Structure 1
Amino acid sequence: MERARGGWVYIITNRRDGVLYTGVTGDIARRAFEHRTGAYPGFTRRYGLKLLVWMERYEDIRDAIRREKAIKHWPRAWKVRLIHDTNPDWRDLYEDLA
C-alpha cells in the first residue's frame, strides 16, 4: 500500500487567549495565507482568526486528520496548554514558514 502524503494540524486565533480554531491541511503555508487573507467565508473569517500559533507535522495525512479530530474534542484548557507548551508568547508562526 502506498503511503499518503504528509499533513499538518494547526491552531489559529485572533489574539492571545482568544477564539481558537483547529484545522488540518497538506500545505500549511498556503492554508495559513488563506486564513490571513480571509479567502473563504466561514467561522475563521467571521472571527478574524489569522494568527498561526501552533502546528504539528505528520508524515501521513491520515495521522494528521486523526490528531485534528482528537484535538477538536479536547477541552479548551488543553488546547491552550498545547499552545503555551511550544509557543508561550502566542507568537504568529506564519513568519517561520517562509
Structure 2
Amino acid sequence: MPRERPFIATYILTNAPYGTLYIGATSDLYARVGQHRIGAVEGFTKKHGLKRLVWYQPFERITDAIQKEKSLKRYLRDWKINLIERDNPHWEDLSLAWDRSPEWKHGPTGE
C-alpha cells in the first residue's frame, strides 16, 4: 500500500505485547513512526526499543491530538491495555501495512 498523506494522530508504541508503552502525538504519524523505528528519536523510545505501533487515533487538529495524549497518559496501565486490545487484540504492528520504501524509514519526502 503506498504511503498516504501525513496525518495528525495520537499513538501508542511498545516493544512487545504487554511490554513497555509509550504514548505520543504527532502531525505526521508515518514520519514519526519511521523515526522511532530507525532510532532517530533519542530518549525513552530508543532506550526501550519501542518500535511497534499498536494503536493510533487520527485527528484534524494537533491541539486535539495533544489533548488526547495528555488524557491517555493519566489513565491506568490496565485501561491502556484494554484500549489497545479493543482495536488490536493481537498487538500487531499497525505500521507493517505501510509502504516499506527507504523514504518511509527516514520520514517525509515533502511530497
Give the equivalent residue in structure 2 for 1:30: 31
Q: Which runs of 4+ in 1 moved over 4 A?
A: none
Give the equivalent residue in structure 1 for 2:14: 13
Q: How much has 1:79 moved relative to structure 2?
A: 0.5
Give the equivalent residue in structure 2 for 1:53: 54
The number of aligned residues is: 93
Question: Given residue 41 of structure 1, which amino acid in structure 2 is its aligned partner?
Answer: E
Root-mean-square deviation over aligned CA pairs: 1.0
- SS across alignment from 1:33: helix
Question: Given residue 21 of structure 2, which amino acid in structure 1 is its aligned partner?
Answer: L
Matches of 1:26 and 1:41, distance apart in 2 = 18
Matches of 1:28 and 1:66, distance apart in 2 = 16
Q: How much has 1:40 moved relative to structure 2?
A: 2.1
- SS across alignment from 1:57: strand
Q: How much has 1:63 moved relative to structure 2?
A: 0.8
**Residues 1:75 and 2:76 are matched in the alignment:** yes
Give the equivalent residue in structure 1 for 2:44: 43
Give the equivalent residue in structure 2 for 1:3: none
**Unaligned stretches of 5+ in structure 1?**
1-5
Question: Given residue 93 of structure 1, which amino acid in structure 2 is its aligned partner?
Answer: L
Q: How much has 1:61 moved relative to structure 2?
A: 1.1
Question: Given residue 53 of structure 2, which amino acid in structure 1 is its aligned partner?
Answer: L
Question: Given residue 74 of structure 2, which amino acid in structure 1 is its aligned partner?
Answer: H
Give the equivalent residue in structure 2 for 1:91: 92
Calculate percent identity across the aligned residue pairs. 45
TM-score, structure 2 length as denominator? 0.80
